[in-house]
Structure 1
Amino acid sequence: MEKINLYLKTVLTSIGQIMLQENPWTGLLFLIGIFYGSPIMGIAAILSASVGLITAQLLKYDKTEIEQGLYGFSATLVGVALTFFFKPEFIIWITIIIGSALAAIVQNVFIRRKIPAFTLPFILVTWVCLYVFHNLDVIGAPVTPAESLVGENGLATVARGFGEVIFQGSIIAGILFILAVFINSPIAALYAIAAGVISAYLSYQFAEPDADIHMGLFSFNAVLCAITFSGFRVRDGIYVLFSIILSTLIDVYMLKMGCSVLTFPFVAASWITLLVKKFLPAEYR
């Protein structure tokens, strides 16, 4: 029974780490939000998080790191992403298992070298899968009903920005995600809400399509940046603002180029922000 409880806690913590929250209750709310949007994605999230965990255990990675969920969050995103982009056919489930294991292995490579990879393992694995399956052209995208965005307001846009971090377009899922972050880190949730507003405003200045903005497509990377650099010092707010603006600009550019953005703008903006901090005097870091 103790092993089962530890397994469940680690899987939920892994899911919570998608937004850098080491909290199983946060992960549980994320999982509820995913299931609300798509039961198939929910199943994929549990499967991929489990594969990441089992892979780390079989390869004898650090026990503490495993329990912190560091080998499950990129794996979870791989599973959800593949069921978002493709119909859940047999080959996709096999790919989810392989891709989740690979994400955990790549994560370990970065951890051992003390490089903050964030969600880069998920990005790399998913980009490869997208390239392969789109070129094979044997698996179509799932049919998802179009959602009306008429009368959308700023709060709905912010909620969708949270939801899109884990490929969820519903306002309900977004609200659950906001609450999930808030119960673990209120300051991170508040900064992330501000990030949703700022990124949407910046996107309007670049005349991006209203529907894309309201769906949170220009906000979810900014939300992750805000959570990453949130803190109680004034300088934390400056780093949050800098990373938000940077991630949104990268997001806009990549979408204009027709790229599969995923969370790359978040990773790139975070690396640049960390690099800037590194070269600043200690009292300004």
Structure 2
Amino acid sequence: MNERTLFPGASFLRGVGQIMLQSNAWTGLLFLVGIFYDSTIMGLGALLAVVTGTLTAKLLRYDPEAINAGLYGFSATLVGVALTFYFQPVAVIWVAIVVGAILATVLQHRLITWNIPGFTFPFIVVTWICLYLFHHVWVVKDSADIVASLPVNDDFTLSTHGFGEVIFQGSVLAGLIFFIAVFINAPVAALYGVVGSILGAFISLQFAEPVPDIHMGLFSFNAVLCAIAFSGNKPRDGIFVLLSVVLSVLIDIQLLKMNLSVLTFPFVAASWITLLVKRLLPASWLV
């Protein structure tokens, strides 16, 4: 069934789907299902943020095609999920979600107009600012979610948690739903994501990172995003996936040693470096 017929507000759902670079309303819907399964509060935060971000783009008369593709929804959605993940859902946090979603949308637009592949960078900037403000200026108590631990005994979770942690979700089922959501739109990308998740865990294990953190997907979710971003049907696509995944994990490890909130910055930084490498290669090699 056509997305436009089934979902009158498909642009909102595509905005959620674009978190993992999927312009598909079904994907976005499944992402929301996974988020709500793990946390109703985070689900509400995601909804408020994606609606705010998308409506902001419409009110500011941004490119309708970009809006319809969901390009102004994903960073905003991540802001909504992140703030309800890190902090207790008091009134100021809900206000911050609205303001943060607007700022993320405007920054996303700047990057688009400058022809810079911003990925989730607007979400990162806005969330880093909010983390500083609500930890040091207007102090808000931490959410229980950031201190909760999840016992893991099955290596299968190396891949499912890698998908789940992209959107701050820790359960196996949420991760599996996210994998299916990507698979229905881009099977090759989803399978590359599984490989990226496992590879991210393997690399971090070589650096003696804490095993519980590895199993929870904390060293895999950026790798999943990189693998999806550079996935393709050609063998050389695998080389770029490998390069970006390795870079993302190494950046992740270094930032964590500095006690920084990494969010999806390793994915963005690794993607920028990989795109630069691709640009420096001969055009004939990329055909």
TM-score norm. by structure 2 comes to 0.96
- For 1:120 and 1:5, locate their aligned partners in 2 and report how far apart those are by CA, in whole Å: 31
RMSD after superposition: 1.6
Paired position in structure 2 for 1:282: 283
Indicate the larger mover: 130-139 or 158-167. Answer: 130-139
| Identity, % of aligned positions | 57
- CA shift at 1:173, angstroms? 0.2
What residue in structure 2 maps to residue 136 of structure 1?
137
**CA distance in 2: counterparts of 1:121 and 1:177, whole angstroms:** 22
1:69 corresponds in structure 2 to 70
Q: Which moved more, 1:125-134 or 1:7-16?
A: 7-16
Q: Which residue is equivalent to 1:262?
A: 263
Measured after TM superposition, the shift of residue 268 of structure 1 is 0.2
Question: Is the CA contact (8 Å cut-off) linking 2:7 and 2:25 kept in structure 1?
Answer: no
Please give the alpha-carbon distance, in whole angstroms, between the structure 2 residues aligned to 1:109 and 1:66: 14
Contact map agreement 2:150 2:216 (CA 8 A) in 1:
no
Alignment partner, residue 25 of structure 1: 26
My pick for the range that moved more, 139-148 or 199-208, is 139-148
> Is 1:154 matched with 2:155?
yes
What is the CA distance between 1:147 and its match in structure 2? 4.0
Give the match's secondary structure for 1:184: coil
Which residue does 1:223 correspond to in 2? 224
CA distance in structure 1 between the partners assigned to 2:175 and 2:186 by the alignment? 16
Give the Cα–Cα distance (whole angstroms) in 2 for the partners of residues 7 and 93 of structure 1: 26
Structure 2 partner of 1:55: 56
- Distance in 1, Cα, partners of 2:5 & 2:51: 12
Question: For 1:136-285, what aligned pairs fall within 5 Å after superposition?
Answer: 136=137, 138-144=139-145, 146-151=148-153, 153-285=154-286
| Residue 20 of structure 2 corresponds to residue 16 of structure 1 | no
Change (3 A) 1:50 1:184: same
Equivalent position amino acid for 1:227 in 2: I
Task: Determine if contact 2:152/2:212 at 8 Å carries over to the other structure.
Answer: no
> Which residues of 2 match residues 64-103 of structure 1 at below 5 A?
64-103=65-104
Q: Following TM superposition, by how much is the alpha carbon of 1:105 offset from its aligned partner in structure 2, in angstroms?
A: 0.3
Alpha-carbon distance between aligned partners in 1 of 2:107 and 2:270, rounded to the nearest angstrom: 20
Give the length in aligned residue pairs.
283
Helix, strand or coil: the match of 1:216?
coil
Separation in 1, partners of 2:124, 2:47: 19
**TM-score under structure 1 normalisation?**
0.96
Aligned counterparts of 1:100 and 1:61: Cα–Cα separation in 2: 15
Q: CA deviation at 1:155?
A: 1.3
8 Å contact from structure 1 (residues 10, 66) kept in 2 = yes
1:135-188 residue CA offsets vs partner (Å, 9 max, x unmatched): 02621111238344242x221121011000000011100000000000000000
Partners in 1 of 2:191 and 2:20 — Cα distance? 14
Mapped to 1, the partners of 2:279 and 2:215 lie a distance apart of 35
Structure 1: tracts of 5 or more residues without a match: none
Shift of 1:86: 0.3
